[in-house]
Chains A and B, each alone.
Chain A
């Protein structure tokens, strides 16, 4: 079963008079319960693809079906609810909120969803414990290492039990040891929880943790490759 399906999706960025096609007529399906790597040179449209799937932006043309929704038909409020409940974002630069501590950062998506504070706190603590961050809950993001920050971001992505994790170069700013730890976490989420993860990466080595590699070039899908178990 597919969790995401793109049909003839194009995205053209317009800056002043210059039009730049970042994605060109892309059609692809992502199966549920897999760990998928999106690779390709810089500027090939990887982030654009992820942003469209995540409902952060709308395609210029084409149709995106994700988590059972036709994103085209959603109002901007419904799209916000979709991002909140179905998607968990993990970014290269962590994107944590500086004046909130670790616990508050992780609780934020639940607060937005309207989960009551006690329940939210319990859930956030649980996830932080699993990710080995229970003694950092009162710390501000700038008191943490890169690896720790990214684990906090993963915790934040997981609290609302999303169906899909979208990770844009999640290991781009952390050392290789921590990168492997994060790959381990992702792998476990897919294997044990049946989560679907789409991850943009430059790192061939890390793509070995994945089930499937999608290669992009100049806004076009070059190939899709299943990674066989060793």
Chain B
């Protein structure tokens, strides 16, 4: 018998038991839906993180003083002279409070070139960058300038009062940064940038808390990190964007594995359901199997007839699962950003800014699992049907 004819017959059998067929298809669809929808969230969040890492560039190394004295200008030029280093941006970072804002903010003393290195590019919605002279100018982050309601707390030319430790400092707002969103190293939206020389003057220090080092190429990163570690020892902590990226990748992969295995348990249920349905279907049709054999259908034909029903259930379940999963994938971020859940990275709710990414890899994988589960669970009933003795089958009441 031609496969096409067998498939038609298989389809008609499934249609004869419509309600049961639909339930089985839905059971299979659940697993596919959850894999597609959940993996899209993980992929979406991680690609958001990668994007912000990319802004800094994968050839960036951040060196921060952990204990002891701050970096000196000599330290900076020593690092600059290491082979493989393209440039070094020294900064002075401290936390502070600004009037009208509850959360702590970051004060970052940085030259405009250092700012460029940190932010990728300086995007201002208002005003301009400061001159690198020791004067009280401030470029303020989006969340500091603008409150939740969207009105300006601070505008260009207005003074901003900052409290660092026990000291009150008055700055003049010269520029307001655009919204940067997710960031992994610093959070520009909650930061006030001021000229490095001014903060050193103000705090009477000649040191820097961190250096942002750019290497010539990604290949130099590991080597330069080793040289810096050799230079400063345990006094400093050294992180590279390359490292962070691979850490994030590893975490993402693990989260995905976890999700897939959780979703996998629903396939166990789907598999048992399919097995159950196919067994019942074969039992109900013993006599019919006898008739098919009497009029000449071979064992192989009967086997294919029931295996293909499993296949059809698996394929239809997958299709519905992929469609449903893709829809739900895009609904989840809306629910999350409506405030039901927060995952904060440097003060930003990452969950409110990502776009879910439905990826072909997970679609294909879930389809394969679903189809495989459906076929495997119909294999035994199909085999039983194929092996039936035609006379016994025909005599079955």
Contacts and interface: CB of A to CB of B under 8 A. Distances in A.
**A associates with B:** yes
Contact of A111 (B2, B16, B290, B293): B2
B347 interface: no
Interface string B294-321: 1111111100000000000000000000
Interface stretch (B102-110, B267-275, B325-333, B388-396): B388-396
Contacts of A95: 287, 290-291, 294, 394
Interface in B372-397: 389-391, 394
B295 A51 contact: no
A97 B1 contact: no
B1 A112 contact: yes
B298 A97 contact: no
B296 A109 contact: yes
Contacts of A114: 1-2
A195 to B, nearest CB: 17
B148 interface: no
B394 A76 contact: no
Interface in A70-109: 76-77, 80-81, 83-85, 89, 91, 95-100, 108-109
Nearest to A89: B294
Interface residues of A, number: 27
B287 to A, nearest CB: 7
Contacts of A84: 295-297
A69 interface: no
B13 interface: yes
B295 A89 contact: yes
Contacts of B16: 98-99
Given A57-B389, A100-B12, A111-B5, A85 B394 contact: no
B40 to A, nearest CB: 40
A54 interface: yes
Interface in B1-19: 1-2, 5, 12-13, 15-16
Contacts of A113: 1, 296
A84 to B, nearest CB: 2
A56 B298 contact: no
A100 B10 CA distance: 12
A112 B389 contact: no
B299 A109 contact: no
A143 to B, nearest CB: 15
A97 B13 CA distance: 10
Nearest to B301: A112
Contacts of B294: 54, 56, 83, 89, 95
B interface, over-half SS: helix
Given A99-B12, A111-B2, A114-B1, A91 B394 contact: yes
A63 interface: no
B396 to A, nearest CB: 12
B54 interface: no
Most buried by A among B287, B291, B297: B291
A77 B295 contact: no
Given A100-B12, A111-B2, A80 B391 contact: no
Contacts of A149: none
A109 B16 CA distance: 21
A51 B297 contact: no
Interface string A156-183: 1000100000000000000000000000
Contact of B391 (A56, A99, A108, A111): A56
Q: Please indicate which of the listed interface residues A81, A108, A113 has the most CB atoms of chain B within 10 Å of its own CB.
A: A108
Contacts of A156: 295
Interface string A113-150: 11000000000000000000000000000000000000
A81 B298 CA distance: 8
B108 to A, nearest CB: 75
B288 interface: yes
Nearest to A55: B390
Contacts of A85: 296
A112 B390 contact: no
A2 B13 CA distance: 41
Interface in B343-397: 389-391, 394
A80 B293 contact: yes
28 contacts: A51-B391, A56-B293, A56-B294, A57-B391, A76-B298, A77-B298, A80-B296, A80-B297, A80-B299, A84-B295, A84-B296, A84-B297, A85-B296, A89-B295, A95-B291, A95-B294, A97-B292, A99-B12, A99-B16, A108-B292, A108-B295, A112-B1, A112-B296, A112-B297, A112-B301, A113-B296, A114-B1, A160-B296
By Cβ-Cβ distance, the 7 closest A-B pairs, closest first, are: A84-B296, A99-B16, A57-B391, A111-B5, A80-B298, A56-B390, A112-B1
Given A80-B296, A108-B292, 6 more contacts: A51-B391, A85-B296, A95-B394, A98-B16, A109-B295, A114-B1
